[in-house]
């Protein structure tokens, strides 16, 4: 029996030495039943940006931290045991050796986290390892690369990253790269996947690396489904029906196509992924900022002052836990419970997380929301992690059939 919900753990968190009091109070607002379900489940979060966070400013996340959305005490409190560590490489480095170097440096960061606390963490290279590490009371740290640009057009780099533990790759990020067009970039140079991108997807299938279509253009999404012989994931995307015009999210037809591929959409917790109100706030803010930048210069004191004051004068309309539940529920109604998961984007979406889900201590709140919606225990376990583990195992099976290296 796992025992992380002891009074000692709760009081340690509430003391503010393990986590800040705001997050602690949110973490324990769920019912005992919801907390117990979170603690007894394998929670696989598809996307957490700890590597980039500690690369920018090292923090020992094996102990309590005063910043960020993730550390060991809060993960234990929330029941999180398999967060995919995002090996995020910014598009500004695309096409350079620095891109490949950055990816390796971020993997080094995760290895350092594990090396400093092997009694708490372990890198997971297969779905079975996640289960084995769960049984050993360890938090698994599987690796997912966000942006395929570090491959630099070379399949040998893909093979090397597989050997280092990468088990999914988000094909692109903010810009069209040599693999795929991006949902954020008006430059649609490939009208979907590039020829090299098709080869990358095929090789990922052979190796047993999950193909992640978060961030890609709609055309690239459909190209990927045509090429891939294994299920595909959206590691941190939400539903476009709630955010019309936001291509970064998935429309209903795409969610259905993903499910027909036996894949999974993992709902992003960022407020702008969840509500049109938050989307509109960013759009208005950006337009106003651009005007100031154009008049005075982007690096001017006036531009900085505007940026600092805008949020204070125009409070951000945070989404809520209920909004996350609504995205999950709509996806389930579209395609069934077997094709939905969670990809929070903790440590990646800044100060835009919804009320009730401010850090990794708060997964029991999500469990409570799903219980309140009428979801059964088996279905909640699927959403929390079972579905992603199933897809991962299917990807491994396809790789074995294609005579790729074993995992």
Tell me the per-residue pLDDT of 85-130, one tens digit each, with 9 for 90 and over: 999 999 999 999 999 999 999 999 999 999 999 999 999 999 999 9
**Quick check: helix, strand or coil at residue 168?**
strand
**Quick check: helix, strand or coil at residue 48?**
strand
Specify the pLDDT at position 403.
75
Residue 11 has pLDDT above 80, yes or no: no
Q: Where are the beta strands (DSSP E) in 89-230?
A: 121-122, 139-140, 143-146, 166-170, 210-212
Concatenated DSSP letters for 331-359? HHHHH-GGGEEE---BTTS-TTPPBT-SS
Exposure letters 267-277 (e unless 16+ CB within 10 A, then b)? bbbbbbbbbee
**CA distance linking residue 110 with residue 87, whole number of Å:** 9
Name the pLDDT band for 308 (thresholds 50, 70, 90).
confident
Mean pLDDT of 239-248: 98
Give whole-number Cα distances, 197 to 138, 143, 147, 227, 376, in Å: 35, 20, 12, 10, 40
Mean pLDDT of 360-367: 98
Mean pLDDT of 399-405: 79
Q: How many CB atoms lie within 10 A of CB 251?
A: 16
**What percent of the chain has a predicted confidence (pLDDT) above 90?**
91
**CA distance linking residue 179 with residue 191, whole number of Å:** 11
Mean pLDDT of 16-30: 44
**What percent of the chain has a predicted confidence (pLDDT) above 70?**
92
Residue 78 has pLDDT above 80, yes or no: yes
Mean pLDDT of 226-230: 98
Closest-CA residue to 395 (of 124, 210, 131): 210
Specify the pLDDT at position 89.
98
Residue 29 has pLDDT above 60, yes or no: yes
Read off the pLDDT of residues 181-215 as tens digits, 9 standing for 90 and up. Answer: 999 999 999 999 999 999 999 999 999 999 999 99
Concatenated DSSP letters for 185-225? -S--SSSSB-HHHHHHHHHHHHHTPEEE-TTB-HHHHHHHH
Question: In the beta sheet, which residues pair with residue 169?
Answer: 145, 211
Name the pLDDT band for 17 (thresholds 50, 70, 90).
very low
15: its two tokens: 């003391």
Mean pLDDT of 163-175: 98
CB of 49 closer than 8 Å to CB of 11: no
Q: How many CB atoms lie within 10 A of CB 398?
A: 17
Closest-CA residue to 269 (of 315, 314, 232, 324): 324
CATH number for the 7-275+317-401 domain, one of 3.40.50.300, 3.20.20.140, 3.40.50.1370, 3.40.50.720? Answer: 3.20.20.140
Specify the pLDDT at position 136.
98
Mean pLDDT of 248-270: 98
Mean pLDDT of 53-66: 96
Mean pLDDT of 251-277: 98
Mean pLDDT taken over the chain? 93
Closest-CA residue to 82 (of 25, 123, 36, 115): 123
CA 388 to mean position of chain CA atoms: 12
Mean pLDDT of 224-232: 98
Give whole-number Cα distances, 20 to 25, 35, 59, 184, 395, in Å: 9, 19, 16, 34, 39
Residue 334 has pLDDT above 90, yes or no: yes
CB of 192 closer than 8 Å to CB of 222: yes
Residue 314 has pLDDT above 90, yes or no: yes
**CA distance linking residue 94 with residue 164, whole number of Å:** 20
**CA distance linking residue 380 with residue 377, whole number of Å:** 5
**CA distance linking residue 165 with residue 162, whole number of Å:** 5
CB of 341 closer than 8 Å to CB of 386: no
CB of 191 closer than 8 Å to CB of 197: no
**CA distance linking residue 164 with residue 251, whole number of Å:** 34
Residue 64 has pLDDT above 60, yes or no: yes
Closest-CA residue to 275 (of 312, 307, 311, 322): 322
Q: Exposure of 163 by Cβ count < 10 A (0-12 exposed, 13-18 middle, 19+ buried)?
A: exposed
């Amino acid at each position: 029996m796992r025992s992380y919900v002891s009074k000692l753990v709760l009081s340690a968190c509430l003391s503010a030495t393990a986590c800040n009091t705001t997050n602690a109070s949110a973490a324990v607002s769920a019912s005992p039943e919801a907390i117990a379900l979170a603690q007894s489940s394998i929670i696989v979060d598809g996307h957490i940006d700890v590597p980039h966070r500690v690369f920018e400013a090292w923090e020992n996340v094996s102990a309590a931290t005063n910043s960020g959305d993730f550390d060991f005490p809060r993960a234990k409190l929330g029941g999180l045991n398999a967060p995919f560590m995002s090996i995020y490489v910014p598009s500004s480095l695309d096409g350079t050796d620095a891109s490949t170097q950055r990816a390796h440096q971020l993997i080094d960061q995760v290895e350092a986290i594990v090396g400093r606390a092997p009694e708490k963490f372990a890198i997971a290279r297969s779905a079975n390892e996640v289960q084995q590490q769960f049984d050993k009371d360890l938090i698994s740290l599987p690796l997912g690369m966000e942006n395929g640009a570090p491959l630099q057009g070379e399949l040998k780099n893909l093979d090397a990253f597989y050997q280092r533990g990468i088990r999914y790759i988000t094909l692109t990020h903010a810009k069209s790269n040599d693999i795929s067009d991006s949902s954020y970039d008006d430059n649609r140079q490939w009208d979907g996947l590039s020829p090299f991108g098709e080869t990358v997807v095929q090789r990922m299938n052979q190796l047993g690396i999950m193909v992640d279509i978060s961030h890609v253009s709609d055309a690239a999404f459909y190209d990927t489904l045509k090429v891939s012989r294994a299920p595909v994931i959206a590691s941190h995307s939400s539903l476009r029906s709630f955010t019309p015009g936001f291509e970064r999210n998935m429309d209903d037809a795409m969610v259905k196509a993903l499910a027909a591929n036996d894949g999974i959409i993992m709902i992003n917790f960022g407020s702008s992924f969840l509500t049109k109100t938050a989307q509109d706030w960013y759009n208005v803010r950006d337009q106003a900022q651009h005007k100031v930048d154009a008049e005075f210069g982007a690096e001017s004191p006036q531009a900085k002052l505007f940026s600092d004051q805008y949020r204070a004068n125009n409070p951000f309309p945070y989404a809520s836990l209920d909004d996350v539940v609504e995205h999950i529920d709509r996806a389930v109604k579209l395609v069934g419970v077997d094709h939905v998961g969670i990809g929070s984007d903790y440590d990646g979406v800044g100060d835009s997380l919804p009320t009730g889900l401010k850090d990794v201590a708060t997964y029991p709140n999500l469990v409570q929301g799903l219980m309140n919606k009428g979801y059964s225990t088996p279905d909640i376990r699927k959403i929390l992690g079972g579905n992603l583990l199933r897809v991962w195992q299917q990807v491994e099976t396809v790789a074995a059939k294609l005579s790729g290296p074993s995992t």
